[in-house]
Structure 1
Amino acid sequence: MSPRTKEQNDAIREMRMDQIMQAAAEVYLEKGIQLEIRDVAVKAELGYGTVYHYYKNKHMLLEDLLWDALNRTESAVMPALTGDSDSLFKAESYSRLLLRECIKDPSVFILLKTVADNFHHFPGNRFIKLFADFQERIYLPFVETIREGIGSKSPEKTANLIFGSLVGCAALNIHHNMRSEMDVEGFVDMIFLGIQSKER
C-alpha cells in the first residue's frame, strides 16, 4: 500500500478538524467552559490522543472554534450587506440570516453568546483580537445599517438590543430542542416593528 499524498493528508486533517469542532460546539452547549478534551473526543467518537494531537488544551480548541465561527458568521450575513436594497431592509435581512445561522450552527451561537458575555469565562486577554475583529466585521456594519435604516438616535444601543434579542431567542430554541419550530421571519418582524414604533 503506497503512502498517502500531502493532499490526502491535508484532506484527512481538515475532516478531523471539522469533526472535532462540531463535537466541541455540542459539548460546549451541554457543559459550557467545563468541557474537557476527553468530552470532545467521546462526542466526536475519536481517541483522546487524536484530539489531543490537534489541541493541547481546551482553550486552544475554543479559540479555534470561535475564530472559525467568526468566519462562518461573516459569510452568513454578508449577502444582506450587498446589493441596492435600502438600509432598513438590509438590517432586517441581516438579522434573519444571523438568527438562522445561530440556530443552524452551534458555533455561531457560542460566538455571539461569548461576545455578549464579554468573554468572562475565558482566562487572560487572548480574545482581544477576536473581539476587535468581531466589532469590525460583524457589529459595526450592522450598526451602520441601523443608523441609516431606522435613523436611530443611538444605533449602537439599538444594535445591542437586536443582538441580545437574537441570542436570547436562539438560546431558548437551542436549549429546548425547538430549532425546527423557530419562526425566524415572525420573530425578526416583531423586533423591527417594536423598534421602529419606539424610534418615531
Structure 2
Amino acid sequence: MSPRTKEQNDAIREMRMNQIMQAAAEVYLEKGIQLEIRDVAVKAELGYGTVYHYYKNKHMLLEDLLWDALNRTETAVLPALTGDGGSLLQAESFSRLLLQTCIQDPSVFILLKTVADNFHHFPGNRFIKLFADFQERIYLPFVEMIREGIGSQSSEKTATLIFGSLVGCAALNIHHNMHNEMDVEGIVDMIFSGIQSKEK
C-alpha cells in the first residue's frame, strides 16, 4: 500500500476536525463549559488520543469552534449583506437567515449565545479579537441596516434587542426539541412589525 499524499492527509485532517467540532457543539449544548475532551471523543466516536492530537484542551477546541462559527455566520448572512431591496428589507432578510442558521447549526447558536453572554464562561481575554471581528463582520453591518431602514437614533439598542430575540427563539427550538418546527418567517415578521410601529 502506497503512503498517503499530502492532499489526502489534509483531507483526512479537515474531516476529523469537522467531526470533532460538530461533536463539541453537541456536547456543549448538553453540558456547557463543563464539557471535557473525553466527552467530545465519545460523541465523535473517536479515540481520546485522536481528539487530543488535534486539541490539547477544551479551551483551544472551543476557540476553534467559535471562530469557525463566525465564518459560517458571515457566509449565511452574506446574501442580506450584499443584497438589494432597501436597508429594512435587508435587515429582515439578515434576521431570517441568522435565525434559520442558528436552528440548523449548533455552533452558530453557541457563538451568538456566547457573544450575548459577553464570553462570561470563558477564562481570560482570549476572545477579544473574536468579539471585535464579530462586531465588525456581523453586528455593526446589521446596526447600519437598522439605522438606515428605520432612521432610529437608537439603532444599536434596537439591533441588540433583535439579536437577543433571535437567540432566545433559537434556544427554545434547540433546548425544547422543537425539531425545526419554528416559524422563522412569522417570528421575524412579528419582530419587525413591532419595531416599525414603535418607530412611526
Query: Structure 2-normalised TM-score?
Result: 0.99
CA distance in 1, matches of 2:104, 2:68: 15
Report the alpha carbon displacement of residue 152 of structure 1 after superposing the two structures with TM. 1.4
Query: For the Cα contact (< 8 Å) 2:87–2:146, is it kept in 1?
Result: yes
CA distance in 1, matches of 2:153, 2:52: 50
SS at match of 1:179: coil
Aligned match of 1:44: 44
Query: For the Cα contact (< 8 Å) 2:84–2:90, is it kept in 1?
Result: no
Report the alpha carbon displacement of residue 83 of structure 1 after superposing the two structures with TM. 2.8
* Percent of pairs with identical residues: 90
Query: For the Cα contact (< 8 Å) 2:87–2:149, is it kept in 1?
Result: yes
- The alignment of Structure 1 onto Structure 2 pairs a total of residues equal to 200
Aligned match of 1:56: 56
Report the alpha carbon displacement of residue 101 of structure 1 after superposing the two structures with TM. 0.3
Report the alpha carbon displacement of residue 73 of structure 1 after superposing the two structures with TM. 0.1
Give the gaps of 5 or more residues in structure 1.
none
Q: Mean alpha-carbon deviation: is it higher for 74-83 or for 63-72?
A: 74-83
- Output one character per residue of 1:42-64: Cα deviation in whole Å (capped at 9) or x when no partner: 00000000000000000000000
- RMSD over equivalenced CA pairs, Å: 0.6
Moved over 3 A (4+): none
Query: Structure 1-normalised TM-score?
Result: 0.99
Report the alpha carbon displacement of residue 137 of structure 1 after superposing the two structures with TM. 0.1
Aligned match of 1:161: 161
Report the alpha carbon displacement of residue 151 of structure 1 after superposing the two structures with TM. 1.2
- Output one character per residue of 1:115-174: Cα deviation in whole Å (capped at 9) or x when no partner: 000001000000000000000000000000000011112000000000000000000000
Report the alpha carbon displacement of residue 24 of structure 1 after superposing the two structures with TM. 0.1
Q: Mean alpha-carbon deviation: is it higher for 175-184 or for 85-94?
A: 175-184
CA distance in 2, matches of 1:84, 1:185: 19
CA distance in 2, matches of 1:160, 1:83: 22
Report the alpha carbon displacement of residue 7 of structure 1 after superposing the two structures with TM. 0.5
- Output one character per residue of 1:62-83: Cα deviation in whole Å (capped at 9) or x when no partner: 0000000000000000101113
Give the gaps of 5 or more residues in structure 2.
none
CA distance in 1, matches of 2:74, 2:134: 9
Report the alpha carbon displacement of residue 180 of structure 1 after superposing the two structures with TM. 1.9
Instruction: Report matched runs for 1:76-155 at 5 Å.
Output: 76-155=76-155
Cα 1:83/1:180, change in 2 over 3 Å? closer
